[in-house]
Amino acid sequence: MHSISLNLNARGRKTSATIHINERSKELKKQGKKIYAFGFGQSPFPVPNCVTTALQKNAYRKDYLNSQGLLELREQVAVFHNKYDQTSASAENIMIGPGSKELMFILQLAFYGEIIVPSPCWVSYEPQAQIIGRKIRSITTSYENGWRMQAQDLQKICESDPSYPRLLILNYPGNPEGQVYSEDELQAITEVARKYQVIILSDEIYGLLHFEAKHTSIVRYYPEGTILSSGLSKWCGAGGWRLGTFVFPKELNHLLQTMVSIASETFTSVATPIQYAAICAYKMEAEIEEYLCNSRKILQEIALDCYEIMVKAGIRLWKSHGGFYLFLDFSNFAEAIRKNNILNSSELCEHLLEETGVAILPGSDFKRPENEYTARFAYVDFNGEKALEACKSTDVDKNFVRYHCPKMQEGVLKMIEWLRSL
């Protein structure tokens, strides 16, 4: 019998941390345990009615589509980004994929060079690079600078070998920390990237969930070198629909064409009915605008409520400016945590889940040092459909959160009680 040979870069890999915590939480719920599901960053809101209706109307469509994506959808995506992100996009420079996650993977496959990511960062950037066999380098951030990468950090990397090809992955509002970059910070990063011809993949999947609706894309400052990544999963509540978008500058058309070629040999094209339905979402008509406005108000109030309770209890964190996340630093409790023989962030989160039912993800899953007591908290465990309906007739304030999203404060207080008991 022949032995089976495996790709050494993929062999022995674990399931993605976010997928794992979601499955684990479901399993514990089935066992009858009350779980506060703050681990998996899935939108709590339903897909808008007009978009689901569009899907129903297009369910009969069965033909394969172009691997780059449905032309009518790409045209609408271009109109959308030109309006909201001040791009100069056109349909020929846009690619539609089965989630931005898959597009990121094949971009790293198409690109040859060094991948740069800030730390902390989304859980899948590094595993994707490792599977493909790409070199990846981290830029370590800190609590003091708001977990944001600094332009001088990128400068230091580029100076070491100025001509080496590099791809910087930037994500904001950020997963796992909910932070955004100021215009000055984006311009400073742009200056370094332009000087050393660094390609930027700007993951702006949470852009429309900026609480003040003032998201600024780095494309405005570095249009020739930025690939803008987005999709339906977060702002449209359609994670399981699996539709992501990449907007390329014409200067990077060679990368786009390589990705289309890879797509034609792998996923072929995104599901046809989904692409037709997505046109409705990207038209951003009144129903979608109202949906987004109310989603932002609810998320902002929950984030602020959780932040204030945690800060008062001694947990170090920054206010979130958009998206679903707070990044928690438990260093003020470090001595007590260590005395309980909890030696790293993974063990911390495991004990917390087992003893309280509060599910959060360890900082080590987001490229933080294992012995650093940090974790990502996703403030999404509430009934988004009911909250949106209530938002139409009720002010969104602390009382709204307590009444319509009761598990949020309850779970936070359980976590704090556990920390104080150590």
What's the pLDDT tens digit per position in 182-195? 999 999 999 999 99
Are both 17-46+287-421 and 49-283 of the same fold?
Answer: no
pLDDT of residue 23: 81
Taking CA 371 as the corner, what is the angle to CA 369 and CA 377, rounded to the nearest 5 degrees?
Answer: 75
- State whether the Cα torsion 116-89-242-48 is positive or negative: positive
Mean pLDDT per 10-residue interval, the chain, length 422 residues: 51 61 78 90 96 98 98 98 94 98 97 95 94 92 95 96 96 97 97 98 98 97 98 96 98 98 97 98 96 98 98 98 98 97 94 94 94 96 97 94 96 98 94
Kind of pairing, strands 135-140 and 114-119? parallel
pTM for the full predicted model? 0.94
Three-state SS for 322-348 is: ECCEEEEECHHHHHHHHHCCCCCHHHH
> CATH number of the domain at 17-46+287-421, please?
3.90.1150.10
From the list 388, 390, 401, the residue with the least C-alpha distance to 290 is 388
- Distance CA(46)–CA(239), nearest Å, equals 10
Burial class (CB in 10 A: 0-12, 13-18, 19+), 63: exposed
pLDDT at 135: 87
Q: At which residue do the structure tokens 């938002």 appear?
A: 391
* Token pair listed for 318: 């920054």
Per DSSP, the residues of 94-125 read EEEESSHHHHHHHHHHH--SEEEEEES--TTH
Q: Which pLDDT score is estimated for 179?
A: 97
Tell me the two tokens of residue 307. Answer: 């932040």
Place of tokens 């908290």: 377
What pLDDT is attached to residue 7? 58
Supply the DSSP symbol for 145. T
Q: For residue 118, give the amino acid letter.
A: P
Q: Is 228 exposed, middle or buried (0-12, 13-18, 19+ CB in 10 A)?
A: buried
Residue 267 pLDDT: 96
Task: Look at residues 141, 129, 140 and name the one whose alpha carbon lies nearest to residue 166.
Answer: 129
Q: Comparing C-alpha atoms, which of 368, 381, 360, 358 is closest to residue 17?
A: 360
CATH architecture of 49-283: 3-Layer(aba) Sandwich (3.40)
Give the whole-angstrom CA distance, residue 144 versus residue 141: 8
Q: How far apart are CA 231 and CA 6, in angstroms?
A: 32
Coil/strand/helix, residue 77: helix
Domain segments of the chain as ranges: 17-46+287-421, 49-283
Asked whether 329 and 316 are in contact (CB, 8 A), the reply is yes
Kind of pairing, strands 374-378 and 325-329?
antiparallel
For 403, the enclosing helix (H) or strand (E) is helix 398-404
